[in-house]
Amino acid sequence: GENVEQHPSTLSVQEGDSAVIKCTYSDSASNYFPWYKQELGKGPQLIIDIRSNVGEKKDQRIAVTLNKTAKHFSLHITETQPEDSAVYFCAASFGNEKLTFGTGTRLTIIP
């Protein structure tokens, strides 16, 4: 089955700087790669996603890049703000099948 690794597990960034979180996946058949933000005591919220036919996608301060050959995908947050502090999860799936989640990254934005 699919295995998703995520790094780093914790990340502290000065407000205004950029944050990058990286994930690798094992199943080359996976074609959908979402990123979720989870705040304490809440369910995950989709912040951006990418499909395997696209190499990069951007939404304001958030971008995701995908390298299918290397089976890597990364989340980039620019101009970080205190409200970006949360736990971020990457995930991978094939079609509409189950999502496999990474281990999570606790992002702390230092004011």
Binding interface with another protein (CB under 8 A): 34, 36, 41-46, 49, 89, 96, 98-104
- Tell me the CA distances in angstroms from 14 to 37, 68, 82, 96, one per residue in order: 19, 31, 9, 37
The tokens for 100 are 């496999």
CB 90 → another protein: shortest distance, Å?
10
Q: In terms of CB distance, is 57 or 78 closer to another protein?
A: 57
CB 96 → another protein: shortest distance, Å?
6
Q: In terms of CB distance, is 69 or 96 closer to another protein?
A: 96
Q: In terms of CB distance, is 40 or 78 closer to another protein?
A: 40
Beta bridge partners of 89: 36
Using DSSP bridges, classify how beta strands 100-101 and 86-92 pair: parallel, antiparallel or unpaired.
Answer: antiparallel
One-letter amino acid identity for 22?
K
Three-class SS state of 83: helix
CB 32 → another protein: shortest distance, Å?
8
